[in-house]
Amino acid sequence: MLFCILHSRALVYTLINILSIACVGLCSKPTLESVEMSQKRLLRNLLWATSKHDVYLMQNYSVMHWSSLLRKGKEVLNVAKPIVPSLNRPGLLSQQLSRVQISTMAVKENLMVAGGFQGELICKYLDKPGVAFCTKLTTDDNAITNAVDVYRNPSGAMRVMAANNDAQIRIFDAETFASLNRFSFDWSVNNTSVSPDGKLLAVLGDSVECLIADAQSGKVTSSLKGHLDYSFSSAWHPDGRILATGNQDTTCRLWDIRNLSESLAVLKGRMGAIRAVKFTSDGRFLGMAEPADFVHVFDTESGYVNCQEIDLFGEIAGISFSPDTEALFVGVADRTYGSLLEFNRKRYHQYLDSIL
């Protein structure tokens, strides 16, 4: 098991900004049905950076855009009000929604996708007014949408994926929002992630095993054995070879896709489950977050040995590296003292240049 070894050169991301934002994550009054879920407060993916200056996050009943440059926020979507989808044609599952409590979200390439505690799915283009598509994916009790993702399939077409507590994964076209596919599993799916080439799908949830499936057909091709508890989060290294899985057993395991017979390494946090894992787009760092207080940044080039531990105070609503890897944002959820922490990447060569 690899514990974080603090190394003087491992201070990679330094804190440069704290924006105080009340109610990051969920602070809306839960409806009766979602009380139980909200109490568990499975905060994980309520923050996305689309550039080092642009962050999208959930605040109360709104999706907000924060400009870290202007230090200003702007409401992008209010989900307390009724939401009327603009696309509506026969055969489309679209449906009006209101008072949605957002459970998870993803923002990629101008498309914002959010999931709700009662099985809702909302898709909005950031450059267009209104909501393109929204619906209730399932009417099952306890139907929470656990995971939403936007990705490109092997031929480059954009897709939206949603995973729900009804043990199903649903795939939609990201332009027409036509329902394309549905894969069923034996347990609640809490997280999925598609490999960078769009071919493989990691499926994680209420099982000690994680699955690798064909992203097109949903056919399971391998089962990853090693974790001791249920899994929450996953991320692919941009080279497509390594998959990281975050688990309730307080570890993150790394798997080499060429040999899945056992995990390559086990990364250990401080005390909590590993709720979020993300690689930087250059593959150099792996960030992992616990439910509260700790974020760890591992240097992949040191074989995941050197690591920076970020110690903060509060529940973590999400972590996100900017696509250029220059910034790391951490959302701290709190009704009153919520905040968005901004870290900047330190360049050691520049530092060395300056003392030479």
- The residue ranges that bind ligand NAG (CB under 6 A) are 23, 27-28, 37, 42, 44-45, 60-61, 80, 104, 106, 144, 146-149, 161, 165, 188, 190-193, 205-206, 230, 232-235, 248, 259, 261-262, 276-278
* Distance, CA of 136 to CA of 114 (rounded, Å): 12
* Minimum distance of ligand NAG from residue 143's CB (angstroms): 9
| Closest to ligand NAG by CB, 138 or 248 | 248
| Closest to ligand NAG by CB, 33 or 206 | 206
Contact (Cβ atoms closer than 8 angstroms) between residue 266 and residue 255 = no
Instruction: For residue 187, give the amino acid letter.
Output: W
* Minimum distance of ligand NAG from residue 341's CB (angstroms): 17
Contact (Cβ atoms closer than 8 angstroms) between residue 118 and residue 144 = yes
Element (H, E) at 147: strand 145-152
* Minimum distance of ligand NAG from residue 351's CB (angstroms): 30
Contact (Cβ atoms closer than 8 angstroms) between residue 116 and residue 98 = no
| Closest to ligand NAG by CB, 85 or 287 | 287
* Minimum distance of ligand NAG from residue 277's CB (angstroms): 5
| Closest to ligand NAG by CB, 12 or 42 | 42
Residue located via tokens 């809490």: 190
Distances, alpha carbon 108 to alpha carbons 120, 122, 196, 222, 297, in Å: 19, 14, 14, 28, 23
Q: For residue 128, how many other CB atoms are within 10 A of its CB?
A: 10
* Distance, CA of 237 to CA of 210 (rounded, Å): 17
| Closest to ligand NAG by CB, 262 or 301 | 262
* Minimum distance of ligand NAG from residue 355's CB (angstroms): 37
Classify 10 as helix, strand or coil. helix
| Closest to ligand NAG by CB, 9 or 29 | 29
* Minimum distance of ligand NAG from residue 333's CB (angstroms): 13
* Minimum distance of ligand NAG from residue 18's CB (angstroms): 19
DSSP labels, 156-204:
S-EEEEEEETTSEEEEEETTT--EEEEEE-SS-EEEEEE-TTS-EEEEE
* Distance, CA of 211 to CA of 194 (rounded, Å): 12
Closest CA to 1 of 302, 289, 251: 251
| Closest to ligand NAG by CB, 8 or 259 | 259
